[in-house]
Structure 1
Amino acid sequence: MKATQNPPTQVQVTPADLLRMAALYLRRHGWTQGSYYDIYETADYLTPPACAAGAIGIACAGHRVEHFSQLDPDALADYLAALGVFVDYLDTTAPVFHIDEDGYLLDEHTSPYSWNDDPARTAEQVITALDSAADEWDSLRITGGENA
């Protein structure tokens, strides 16, 4: 860097960073199914157990949000990017396709919501998937130790 250049003032947070933060959140505060946050926690509880999407939302906003539409534009862009990386990972590792009664494909992507809410799903599977999706994102973008 030349002496006349200004150093960057902000660190770029990647979708992989957000997915790892979501996994860490779930390790520390717990995981739930059926809603973004454990419905049995009080409304003012700051760190309720969360589903995968809820934990990604918290990682993006820095606090709980009841729906991703409540995120500011920058946090919403980060949320959608991280969720998209997670969906891409699920599409390759745990595809779930919804076919109607006529045999037509209704949804070609795995829903992170229905995947999270599968009765056979465990917290460890969700945490591992978030970490693995982050690792995959990094492996596709890092060459020689630098972002490509």
Structure 2
Amino acid sequence: MKATQNPATGVRVTPADLLRCAALYLRRHGWHQGTYYAPTTDILTPPACAAGAIGIATAGHRVEHFSQLDPSALADYLAAMAAFVDYLDDHAPVFHIDEDGYLLDEHTSPYSWNDDPARTAEQVITALDAAADEWDRLHNQGGGN
């Protein structure tokens, strides 16, 4: 775009867009478990967990906690995380049951799912892409966003 051109307005970023950007981020910069980002101070684009990658996709930079996002970006982040949780609930449920057999949480935590010792980077990237595809399928009638 030339400096004299006006940027497009009214372009809506969907949760699917953010999930695909998060998957691309993980492909390019690596995946991490345990915290949002691998502990490093020498690179601006560290390996990230699924939630950290969604945060970077939303903000365009590292976000240590979603509370650091401005209100419109926060809404986008939460919508993308909700789409990811919905996908995980349907396709990779992880439920926590207490010692009395009661369900502690009815939704799959993307954090514990990401941090499962048996999880792989490819599984996380595939799930982010699949969640994006599912969001598009459910929300885009007639194609296009």
* TM-score > 0.5 by shorter chain: yes
Q: Which has the larger radius of gyration?
A: 1
TM-superposed deviation, 1:146: 4.6
Which structure has more strand as a fraction of its residues? 1
Say whether 1:15 aligns with 2:15: yes
2:44 counterpart residue number:
46
TM-superposed deviation, 1:145: 2.0
2:140 counterpart residue number:
142
1:66 counterpart residue number:
64
TM-superposed deviation, 1:73: 0.9
Could you list the runs of 5+ residues in structure 1 that have no partner in the other structure? 1-7
**Partners of 2:88 and 2:133 in 1: CA distance:** 13
Moved runs in structure 1, 4+ residues, more than 3 A?
A: none
How well do the aligned residues superpose, as a CA RMSD in angstroms? 1.2
TM-score normalised according to structure 1 size: 0.90
TM-superposed deviation, 1:143: 1.9
Which stretch of structure 1 is more off in the superposition, 54-63 or 94-103?
Answer: 94-103
**Partners of 2:45 and 2:129 in 1: CA distance:** 20
Could you list the runs of 5+ residues in structure 2 that have no partner in the other structure? 1-7
2:130 counterpart residue number:
132
For 1:105, give the aligned amino acid.
L
Aligned residues: 138
